[in-house]
Amino acid sequence: MLDPDILRVMMRTAGLPRAAIREAMPEILIAAERYYQRVCPELSDKHCPGVVPVLERLTRRGMLLGLVTGNLTRIGWRKLERAGLRGFFRFGAFGEMAKNRSGLARLAIREARGRGWIGREAAVSLIGDAPQDIQAARANRIRAISVTTGITPVEELVTLHPDLLLRDLRELRLRMVE
């Protein structure tokens, strides 16, 4: 789920009417980002296996890396900072920017093309560990690379037929994303 969706569900569960949620949401999003800036823990010991070597290889190869996440903008960047990974990503699409992950991927691709960072024929891959990542890749006609390091059972990822299904990022080779 995107962060705004999670917040909506929480407020609905607490009994707030939809109109009140809509009205309060802008302030709540700002407050959530401010709060997370203060409380985000150190995350450098929370990397999925192989993430740093893969990001280093992709960066050395000159590949454009963008973040597509359901987190709010300041929360997403803060997490990457605390994980020591922020420097690998040039741009991102975040939870408040679209209604779903497919829309976020669409925005990221549009930005990369609009800024001239990639051409229309560039190979684009979405690497993720959730069903929504595979669905977003399919909706945008890009390569779906799924890793089984998340909470989704492997069987569920298999049924969605990603282009590649990896145990973790140590299995990713550059030729798979070129």
Q: Order the strands of the 164-166 sheet from edge to edge.
A: 125-128, 143-147, 164-166
**What confidence tens digit (pLDDT) does each residue in 70-118 have?**
999 999 999 999 999 999 999 999 999 999 999 999 999 999 999 999 9
0.85 surpassed by pTM: yes
Phi, psi of 68, rounded to the nearest 5 degrees:
-120, 115
Mean pLDDT score, 108-132 = 97
- Return the SS3 of 1: coil
Q: Where are the beta strands (DSSP E) in 37-167?
A: 66-68, 91-93, 125-128, 143-147, 164-166
